[in-house]
Amino acid sequence: AALWEGRMTQYGRSTDVYRHPVDEITARVYSDPPMNSVHVQKTGNALRFPDGQSVSLKMGLPDGDFRAGFRANHLRTVAAPALHVGFSATLLATELTGSETFIHVDALGEKWIGLVHGVPRFEIGQILDVYLDPKELFYFDQEGRFANAQGHTYTTGSECSYVSDHP
């Protein structure tokens, strides 16, 4: 069960609550550290981020404004596939956890926490390039409800692309 301010927000198998939170509060509470988020706008097959980047995805999400949530392990400092969207971020703090490091960054006016493997040499105030895979995002509507409640509904093998001014 997930609890917030004395009330149960969702009850079910742990893996179900983790993978399919009913709302943004449950997603934040059930993630450690809390789930990060960013505003996105979806129109047709285009998903637009606040910095103007857009990603073309076929997905079962209605048009509109959403909060896109992502967990710390989904924020990367190394781009993998060409489909990752990149952002410039300012490093605010680091937390060494042994063999991994939490990074606290400011990107797009949001405070995000990422989890990177190893103990990288970062300097506070350093500008980092950070990356997200749009297929790993959770979408929440304006009321905070999980918008893709049937799970991530991307078309298998969908043609995904993005347009970016980010190097």
pLDDT single digits (tens) 86-110 = 999 999 999 999 999 999 999 999 9
CA–CA gap between residue 27 and residue 158 (Å, rounded): 26
Give the range among 23-27, 49-53, 149-153, 155-159 with minimum mean pLDDT.
155-159
Kindly indicate the confidence band of residue 82, based on its pLDDT and cuts at 50, 70 and 90. Answer: low
Q: Is the pLDDT of residue 9 over 60?
A: yes
Is the pLDDT at 165 greater than 50, yes or no?
no
| pLDDT given at position 53 | 92
Q: What is the pLDDT of residue 118?
A: 94
| Dihedral (CA of 113, 117, 119, 122) sign | negative
Q: What percent of the chain has pLDDT over 70?
A: 87
Average pLDDT for the chain:
85
How far is residue 75's CA from residue 36's CA, in Å, rounded to a whole number?
A: 9
Q: How many CA atoms lie within 13 A of 40 on its CB side?
A: 29
Residue 135 pLDDT: 84
Per-residue pLDDT at 166: 34
